[in-house]
Amino acid sequence: ARKQLKVLHALDIATTQVYHFTAIAIAGMGFFTDAYDLFSISLVTDLLGRIYYTDGVLPVGVSALVNGVALCGTVVGQLFFGWLGDKVGRRHIYGVTLKLMVICSIASGLSFHRSRKSVITTLCFFRFWLGFGIGGDYPLSATIMAEYANKKTRGAFIAAVFAMQGLGNLAAGIVAIIVSQSFKHAPGYDHDPHWHADYVWRIILMVGAIPAILTYYWRMRMPETARFTALIAKDIKKASSNMALVLNIDIVAEIEEADVFNREHEFGFFTMEFVHRHGLHLLSTMICWFMLDMSFYLLNLFMKNIFTEVRFIKDASTMSPLDQTYNIARTQALITVIGTLPGFFFAVKFMDRIGRIKMQIVGFIMMSVFMLGLAIPQVLSKTIWYSRYGNIYFIVIYSAIMFFTDFGPNSTTFILPAEIFPARMRSTCHGIAGAGGKGGAITGVLWFLYANKGLPIILFVLVGCNIIGLVFTLILPETKKRSLEEVTGERGNDEDQGVAI
């Protein structure tokens, strides 16, 4: 059986140390920025309609472009940077994605002219490239954290990185509340509210650059992961020295030449061997992520539409532009605090106890149960959510959906692709799986805007997506407390650990 390198075995059995938390913070702030940038757009799209269109509403095509263009960029970024991460190293391009996010976050709030065409064109151009940078952060952050972590707490560490998405979502809501209220009480607002509102949406989007700037220096100081250096670059001595710099682990450097590597397992991506060993797993991770993101992004990006339909948010015609932004942001922050953040917290806490597969199955099932809990009563009575108590019930159930989304497939679909593929194609495969997910997000956005269906039909369709995701989850292997090399087949199940290849 193929054995595991000593440096990798040392990483697997290492105790939790300060640098593990440093890596979580560095990678996690990237996801904080990702979430802020992706979800802040839902807070300002209605504002754009109020400012630049005479009827106060973005046309469907423009709304689809504004909401979906960053997701299109994310798909391309996941594929490109995922592939690049396996070719030149995870660390070398980790800073490139952050630079793109900083530049494009700032540029998203700028326009060359205040005309409608100029503003929308500039916004969409830079949000595509913003999404491109965000897309690169997905495979790189997941792969880096998976390759740094020990096998006992690897799931919790990767989940903690992804949980920063919840804090980024909350931050977007808080920033929108503060900025909208500040400008609402500024001198001259009553005289020209649209002039003030034009600054509000720009500031909200541009603030997304701040957390990325704060972590750039530390991201550049991270050493390359030992698994890339040893298994792909074939420099075992450097892998050992790099890890010794940041982790307090005792490693005896192995100086054998690259020739000692067992090349039997080094098949390429476009080979039948890959299809035989990992093809079904790659397809399953793509489909699970596609189905999850169709629900997740639809319910997040169009939360304002859904809560307006049940009359928790008042009709836009009864509010000023900034009052509308305030109410949308307050709703997003409320759902994040009640459902999203607790879901992420428990995902981190129980990921390595319950396991990825069980958590994903439970998540899909409970999401479906609570979606039906919203859909069926509205089929029976269209006005059931209009009362005060109806609104409360709706908020509780909606938050429960978001809880089990995050305490379930939203976390596990991010973790599994970073664990079940070999090191030399780990980042690539994660990027492909993530691109499948964002394909689901784009599908959800377009379907919501163009199909124009009522909430019950939307929820019934999403339940069907959950069932499909559940079925494909059953194909995936459990990775809880197993070495990455054991999961991927880069070594056997031999109990004799720490032996050179």
Other residues' Cβ atoms within 10 Å of the Cβ of residue 87: 12
Helices 280-301, 426-451: inter-axial angle, 10-degree rounding = 40
Q: How far apart are CA 125 and CA 318, in angstroms?
A: 33
Domains (range + CATH), the chain:
7-222+271-481 (1.20.1250.20)
Q: What is the dihedral of CA 370, 376, 381, 386, to 10 degrees?
A: 20
Tell me the C-alpha to C-alpha distance, in Å, between residue 53 and each of 117, 198, 363: 11, 13, 41
Q: What is the pLDDT of residue 3?
A: 56
Q: How far apart are CA 34 and CA 41, in angstroms?
A: 12
Long-range contacts of 251-256 (CB under 8 A, 24+ apart): 251/6, 251/7, 251/10, 252/6, 253/7, 254/5, 254/6, 254/7, 254/500, 256/500, 256/501
- Quote the tokens at residue 233: 């670059």
Tell me the C-alpha to C-alpha distance, in Å, between residue 178 and each of 304, 319, 329: 18, 17, 10
Q: What is the pLDDT of residue 462?
A: 97
Comparing C-alpha atoms, which of 338, 411, 347, 413 is closest to residue 370?
338
Instruction: Kindly report the pTM of this predicted structure.
Output: 0.92
Please name the helix (run of DSSP H) or strand (run of DSSP E) that holds residue 316, with its range, or none: none
Comparing C-alpha atoms, which of 470, 494, 468 is closest to residue 483?
494
Which DSSP state fits 54? Answer: T
Task: Please enumerate in sequence order all residues whose Cβ is within 8 A of that of 372, keeping only pairs 6 or more positions apart, or say none.
Answer: 459, 463
The answer to whether the beta carbons of residues 421 and 476 sit under 8 Å apart is no
- Quote the tokens at residue 30: 């990237």
- Quote the tokens at residue 375: 């859909």
Q: What is the pLDDT of residue 334?
A: 96
Furthest-apart CA pair in the chain: how many Å? 77
Q: Give the number of C-alpha atoms closer than 13 A to the C-alpha of residue 358, restricted to the C-beta side.
A: 9
Q: Give the number of C-alpha atoms closer than 13 A to the C-alpha of residue 175, restricted to the C-beta side.
A: 24
Task: Please enumerate in sequence order all residues whose Cβ is within 8 A of that of 424, keeping only pairs 6 or more positions apart, or say none.
Answer: 86, 231, 232, 266
Q: What is the pLDDT along the chain (501 residues), one digit of tens a residue?
A: 345 677 788 888 888 888 889 889 999 998 999 999 999 999 999 999 999 998 889 999 999 999 999 999 999 999 999 999 999 998 888 889 999 999 999 999 887 667 888 999 999 999 999 999 999 999 999 999 999 899 999 999 999 999 999 999 999 999 999 999 999 888 877 787 888 888 999 999 999 999 989 888 888 888 888 889 888 888 888 888 878 777 776 655 554 444 444 454 577 888 888 899 999 999 999 999 999 999 999 999 999 999 999 999 988 888 889 999 999 999 999 999 999 999 999 999 999 999 999 999 999 999 999 999 999 999 998 889 888 899 999 999 999 999 999 999 999 999 999 999 999 999 999 999 999 999 999 999 999 999 989 999 999 999 999 999 999 999 999 999 999 989 988 764 444 444 333
Q: What is the pLDDT of residue 252?
A: 56
The answer to whether the beta carbons of residues 370 and 401 sit under 8 Å apart is yes
Which DSSP state fits 259? Answer: G
Task: Please enumerate in sequence order all residues whose Cβ is within 8 A of that of 1, keeping only pairs 6 or more positions apart, or say none.
Answer: 491, 492, 493, 494
Comparing C-alpha atoms, which of 148, 152, 174, 177 is closest to residue 161?
148
Q: How far apart are CA 400 and CA 397, in angstroms?
A: 5
Q: How would you write 427-464 as a 3-class SS string?
A: HHHHHHHHHHHHHHHHHHHHHHHHHCCCHHHHHHHHHH
